[in-house]
């Protein structure tokens, strides 16, 4: 799709009506006081979100359970579910620019990235799992004579999904599409600061033919709405992307309720490792800047720790600084902006504290690290590069989720591997080298769910995204994600 600034501006001027909850196929007001939605672009009030109380969530979960039990979706032939999800993908494509602009107004992602990463990715995800529906089936196991052993895959029931604010439509689709494809019902709880595109997705799902009660959306604070969803005895599986602190609470809620399965994609502090024998140092420097600063650093797999071989450290930092300072920070609805807004004032202030702490601990601020464009009323930050970050520093250990890069030198391959793994996280990593043997050694030795070699980012729906250690468990994307949304049942038949 060719982006046109005039069309973007027209869509951005469209008023957003007060939002409601989708429960049992009907749009309803929440029991709690409506929450204001502030745009990170200029701090203006976009609209309001409904606040779902615990009673509202219980009603949504009960409706999802009833929809599952009566088979209006779970018992539909695979070919019929497939047609509905394809229609939904087509509707997402038809409304792609509208969805992208709405999402940018809500969470601040730069429009050129948002169009591809949000509706573009979501449509592809629904098509991928639609095509998987009639190709995933059970087994006949080899067993003893006079016995027929059947292994059935069955939908689990009700899936509770809690998704973050950085890429709500993309990450939401990673969870909603496979859950629906396998015949489950879904109750979705978006982030308070990025709910609008997922509420619009719910409208499109009804239009596509997803039956009432099969896909429900409840909005509200995590401490009220999210907690009620996680404690619900009607929820069989809980899937979540977000912070480690929230993930721990969800596990506690599972233990306190019905021992629902919890699949968590949590934080990351991903190393991006550059060896002196990297095939193209200039390209690696540009990629390193994009790896941390795209979407203002608000990416779970962001290459937030740059490990650089000491012999090229200074030259690489010079190239990296040039690449960074050439990136334009500004209104994310403008096509000229390469870095958009920070999602909220709270997140911006947290980012700035990381920079202050890093310099206090002995790091050197090479560039950036300040709030900029404050006169717009929006939340913008000059991308920060901090060198001399030691393994005991807070910036080395803790996820920022903002445009702040920690740089640490190393001298040997063994030291690079040790530094890469010197964190509680294990989500992603990058390695830049021209040595094939080293690439394989690092790929094997780094403890992370995704390891990029001579690139950073770009993995598509065909491969899993899964964390290790405190980055979570279970896989989003690929056919492996379907395991989260199905039960295995053995049929043992005496012949």
* Catalytic site positions: 265
Burial of 471: CB neighbours in 10 Å, binned 0-12, 13-18, 19+: buried
Q: DSSP letter at 23? A: E
Burial of 495: CB neighbours in 10 Å, binned 0-12, 13-18, 19+: exposed
Distance CA 293, CA 261 (A): 34
Q: DSSP letter at 18? A: P
Helix residue spans in 374-412 (DSSP H): 394-397
The H or E element spanning position 169 is helix 168-181
Distance CA 462, CA 454 (A): 20
| CA-to-CA dists, residue 372 to 67, 229, 341, 358, 383, angstroms | 49, 38, 10, 19, 10
Q: What strands, in cross-sheet order, belong to the sheet with 450-453?
A: 364-367, 384-387, 404-410, 305-309, 271-274, 428-432, 450-453
Q: What strands, in cross-sheet order, belong to the sheet with 237-241?
A: 26-28, 21-23, 215-217, 185-189, 158-162, 237-241, 261-265
Q: DSSP letter at 328? A: P
Strand ranges for 20-157 from DSSP E: 21-23, 26-28, 32-38, 45-51, 139-141, 147-155
- Name, in order, each residue with C-beta under 8 angstroms of 251's C-beta and a sequence gap of 6 or more: 262, 264
Distance CA 19, CA 27 (A): 9
**By C-alpha distance, which of 157, 302, 176 is closest to 239?**
176
**SS3 of 340, please?**
coil
How many CB atoms within 10 Å of residue 147? Answer: 11
> What's the token pair of residue 318?
């010079």
Report the half-sphere exposure of 194 (CA within 13 A, side-chain side).
27
Helix, strand counts (H, E) of the chain: 16, 23
């Amino acid at each position: 799709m060719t982006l046109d600034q005039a069309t973007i501006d027209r869509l951005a001027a469209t008023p957003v009506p007060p939002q409601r909850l989708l429960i049992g196929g009907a749009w309803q007001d929440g029991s709690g006081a409506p929450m204001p939605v502030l745009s990170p672009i200029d701090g203006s009030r976009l609209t309001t979100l409904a606040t779902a109380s615990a009673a509202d969530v219980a009603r949504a979960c009960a409706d999802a359970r009833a929809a599952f039990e009566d088979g209006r979706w779970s018992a539909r032939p695979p070919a019929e579910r497939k047609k509905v999800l394809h229609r939904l993908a087509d509707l997402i494509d038809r409304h792609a620019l509208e969805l992208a602009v709405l999402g940018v107004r809500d969470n601040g992602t730069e429009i050129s990235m948002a169009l591809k990463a949000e509706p573009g990715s979501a449509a592809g995800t629904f098509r991928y799992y639609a095509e998987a529906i009639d190709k995933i089936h059970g087994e006949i196991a080899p067993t003893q004579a006079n016995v027929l052993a059947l292994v059935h895959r069955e939908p689990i029931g009700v899936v509770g999904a809690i998704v973050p604010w950085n890429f709500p439509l993309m990450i939401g689709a990673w969870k909603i599409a496979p859950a629906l494809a396998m015949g489950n019902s879904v109750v979705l709880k978006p982030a308070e600061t990025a709910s609008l595109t997922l509420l619009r997705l719910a409208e499109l799902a009804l239009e596509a033919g997803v039956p009432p009660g099969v896909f429900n959306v409840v909005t509200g604070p995590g401490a009220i709405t999210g907690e009620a969803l996680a404690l619900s005895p009607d929820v069989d599986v809980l899937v979540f992307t977000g912070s480690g602190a929230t993930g721990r609470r969800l596990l506690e809620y599972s233990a306190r309720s019905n021992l629902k399965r919890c699949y968590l994609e949590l934080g990351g502090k991903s190393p991006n490792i550059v060896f002196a024998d990297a095939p193209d140092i200039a390209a690696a420097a540009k990629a390193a800047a994009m790896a941390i600063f795209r979407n203002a650093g608000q990416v779970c797999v962001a290459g937030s720790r740059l490990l650089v071989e000491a012999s090229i450290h200074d030259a690489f930092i010079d190239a990296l600084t040039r690449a960074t300072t050439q990136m334009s920070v500004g209104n994310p609805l403008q096509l000229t902006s390469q870095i958009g807004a920070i999602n909220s004032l709270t997140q911006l202030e947290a980012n700035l504290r990381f920079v202050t702490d890093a310099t206090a601990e002995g790091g050197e601020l090479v560039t950036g690290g300040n709030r900029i464009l404050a006169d717009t009323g929006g939340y913008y930050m000059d991308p920060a590069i901090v060198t001399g970050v030691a393994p005991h520093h807070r910036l080395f250990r803790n996820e920022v989720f903002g445009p702040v890069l920690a740089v640490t030198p190393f001298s040997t391959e063994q030291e690079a591997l040790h530094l890469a793994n010197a964190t509680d996280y294990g989500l992603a990593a990058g390695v830049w080298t021209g040595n094939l043997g080293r690439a394989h050694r690092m790929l094997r030795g780094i403890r992370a769910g995704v390891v990029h070699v001579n690139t950073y980012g770009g993995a598509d729906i065909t491969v899993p995204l899964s964390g290790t250690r405190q980055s979570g468990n279970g896989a989003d994307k690929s056919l492996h994600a379907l395991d989260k949304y199905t039960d295995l049942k053995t049929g043992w038949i005496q012949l």
